Amino acid sequence: MYERFFGLADAPFRLTPDPRYLFLSPKHAEALAHLKLGLRESSGFVCITGDVGTGKTTLLRAFLAGLGPETATAYIFNPPRSALELLKTINGELGLFAKTRSRKKLVDALNAHLLAQREAGRRSIVIIDEAQALSIDVLEQLRLLSNLETTTEKLLRIVLVGQPQLRALLLHPELVQLNQRITLRWHMGPLSRRETVAYMLHRLRVAAGGDPPPRIFTRPALRRTHRISRGVPRVVNMVAHRALMVAFAAERRVVNAACVRQAYREIGALPLAAAAPTSPRRTAWAAAAVGACAGVIALGVVALAWRPELHLGGASESPAPSAVMTPAEETPAPVVAVATPPPPEAEPAPPAPTADPAPPVTPADEVERRLASLDARATTRVAVGAILAAWHAEPLAADEPVDLARIAARRHLEDLPLVGNGSMLRLLDLPAILELRVPGADQPRPVALTGMSDGRAELVVDGSPTPVDAAFLDHHWFGRAHVFWRDFEALGPAFGHESHGAPVARLQALLRRIGAYDGKESGQFDPATEAAVLGFQRARFLAVDGRVGRLTRIVLYAAAGGYPRPTLGAPS
C-alpha cells in the first residue's frame, strides 16, 4: 500500500514471523544460542519462554531455516489436545506411520525411525510452540518420549516454547520429573529503548533492501513508539505499521511523533502492552495549570468576600441598610436568609445518581479452593449453562450429554474451540468457557468468563458470579477456550474470492454498514470486496487471507452492531 511511496520494496512491519526480519537483540541471540546448544547436546529438554509478542515464533522460524538436511524436524505450532494426537502429529511430521489409535504402535514406529536416523548420522528434533496450552497428560507423554535413548545419548531432542504461564505449568506436582529434565532454559523479555530503535531501523533496512536504512521515522517518533509499545516487538510492528499508513494518507514522507500518536489512537481499542506514560514536561505543565486555577479561585473568593455589594445568593444589587452598618461577623444569619432568598433557578441541583461500585475481587486462594473442591464434569455443566444463559438460549437438560458442538447446534449456535489469550477474547467480545488449572486439581476446571474490564474479569464459579483480578487468569489460564457464536447472516462455510451468490451479497451489505465497502451488493466476490475484507482483517489484526471464516465473521458482527449477542463489556 505505502511501500513505493516511502521507497521500500516490502512492508517492514508485518505481523507474520518472517525470518528475514529477525532482529537479534542480546535476549534473542541468547535464546537462539540455547536452541543451537540443545540441538548439539542430547541430555534433556530445552524450554524457551517469552511474553506475548516478543518474537518467539520468528526466532523459531529462523532457527528452523538454519537447519541442514541432517536434521529431521517436527514443528508443532498447534498444541495437540491429547497424548494420542501428540504421537500421531510427531509421526506425521516425520513422515512415519500414523494411522492407528495404538500408542504402542506409534511409539514403536518412532523408536525404529530414530534408531535408523542415528545410524545414518542424522538427528531428530521436536519443537512445540505455544506449549503453555499443553495438558499434563501431553507433557507426561513428552517426558516418556525422552526415554527413547541409547546408552550414550537421547534419540529425540525436544524443545518447548511458550508464554510465561509455561514456567508455572511446569511446577505442577505431576510434572516434577519433566521439570528436572529441562537442562536449558531462557526467558525473552521486551526490548529496551535502544533495542527498539535498532529493531525498527533493522526492519526498515531489510524492507529497503540496502544499508543504511531510509530515514522515515524521526527520533521523537522512534522514542514514542517505544513508550507506547513498552518494547514488545509485535506492538512495535502494530504501531509503526499504522503510523506509516497515517503519514501515507497525509502524503508525508517522514513519520513524526504526531503520526505515532494518531496511530495509537486508531488502534487504541485493542489491548496493547501498556499505555504510553505521561510526559514529565506535560505533567509539570498540568500541575502548573492546576495550581494557577487554584490561585485564581482563591483570589476570586477573596474578592467576593471583600466587595460588600456582591451577594453570593442574593437577588438585589444593593444591600439593606442594616447589613451595611453591621459588621459581617455580627450580621444575624436568619435576617440575611429572609431578606435575600435565593431564586429558584439558583437552587443546587440534586446530585447525579452514581453507579454502584463494582464488587471487590475474590481472593485468588479462595477461588482456587472453590474450583479444586468441585468435580470437573460438574464445573463443565455449570460453565455451559452460564454461556447459554448469556445467549438467552434453552438451558442444558439434566440428561443432555456435554458435547459442546452438539449443544451449540441444537440452539442455532456454533462452538469455536481456540487457543488464544486475553487480547483475542477482547477482540471477539463474547462470553467464553476457559479451562483453568488450579493447585490440588488433577484436571482443568472449565469456568464461564462473562465479563472483562480493566484489571478484572467476571467468572461464574459453581453458579455464582465471581469477580477476579486479571492476574488470576494470567496464572491459571493457559489459552484453551470455547466460544459460542451465531452466524447471524447465515453466510455458510468459509469462502473467499471464488464465491458468489446471496451469502456474498449479505457480506457486502455488512461491509457497507461498517464503512469498509462502497460498492454494489452484487453477490460477486470481486476485487473490491476482497480488498474490503483484507482491509477489515488487517485493521482488526486477524489473519489477512481474504477468506471470510469464523473469526472474521465474529469480529465483523461485533463491528456492525445491532445483533442480539452478549458481550464481555456490557450486559446482554
Q: What pLDDT band is residue 497 in, cutting at 50, 70 and 90?
A: confident
With the CA atoms of 287, 288, 289 and 292 taken in that order, what torsion angle do they form, in degrees rounded to the nearest 10?
Answer: 120
Q: In terms of C-beta density within 10 A (0-12 exposed, 13-18 middle, 19 or more buried), how is residue 443 classed?
A: middle
Query: 441 or 241: which carries more pLDDT confidence?
Result: 241
Q: Would the pLDDT of 341 be above 70?
A: no
3-class secondary-structure state, position 306:
helix
Q: What pLDDT band is residue 336 in, cutting at 50, 70 and 90?
A: very low
Residue among 56, 27, 28, 35 at smallest CA distance from 131: 56
Query: 433 or 68: which carries more pLDDT confidence?
Result: 433
**Cβ atoms 233, 208 nearer than 8 A:** no
**Cβ atoms 270, 232 nearer than 8 A:** no
In this predicted structure, what is the pLDDT of residue 199?
92
Phi then psi for residue 247, to 5 deg, are -65, -40
Q: Would the pLDDT of 344 be above 60?
A: no
Distances (CA, A) of 316 to 70, 302, 346, 527: 99, 21, 14, 74
List the single range of 186-190, 465-469, 528-532 with lowest mean pLDDT: 186-190
Query: 249 or 316: which carries more pLDDT confidence?
Result: 249
In this predicted structure, what is the pLDDT of residue 311?
30
In this predicted structure, what is the pLDDT of residue 562?
86
Give the residue-averaged pLDDT of 269-277: 42
Give the residue-averaged pLDDT of 422-446: 88
Q: Would the pLDDT of 554 be above 50?
A: yes
In this predicted structure, what is the pLDDT of residue 212?
66
**Strand order across the 123-128 sheet:** 71-76, 123-128, 157-162, 45-50, 182-188
d(CA 403, CA 405) in angstroms, rounded, equals: 6
| pLDDT tens-digit series, residues 381-412 | 999 999 999 999 999 998 899 899 999 999 99
In this predicted structure, what is the pLDDT of residue 357?
61
**Cβ atoms 469, 364 nearer than 8 A:** yes
In this predicted structure, what is the pLDDT of residue 271?
44
Query: 366 or 422: which carries more pLDDT confidence?
Result: 366
Q: What pLDDT band is residue 358 in, cutting at 50, 70 and 90?
A: low
d(CA 69, CA 11) in angstroms, rounded, equals: 31
In this predicted structure, what is the pLDDT of residue 211?
67
**Cβ atoms 457, 473 nearer than 8 A:** yes
Portion of the chain with pLDDT greater than 90, in percent: 31
Q: Would the pLDDT of 295 be above 90?
A: no
| pLDDT tens-digit series, residues 119-160 | 888 888 999 988 888 888 899 999 999 888 887 778 888 999
Q: What pLDDT band is residue 479 in, cutting at 50, 70 and 90?
A: confident
Domains and CATH numbers, the chain: 26-188 (3.40.50.300), 193-266 (1.10.8.60), 364-485 (3.90.70.10), 488-572 (1.10.101.10)
pTM over 0.75: no
| pLDDT tens-digit series, residues 18-29 | 778 888 888 888
| pLDDT tens-digit series, residues 204-259 | 988 888 766 678 999 999 999 999 888 888 889 999 999 998 888 888 889 999 99
d(CA 291, CA 570) in angstroms, rounded, equals: 38
In this predicted structure, what is the pLDDT of residue 455?
77
Mean pLDDT of the chain: 80
| pLDDT tens-digit series, residues 160-197 | 998 888 888 888 878 888 888 888 888 888 888 999 99
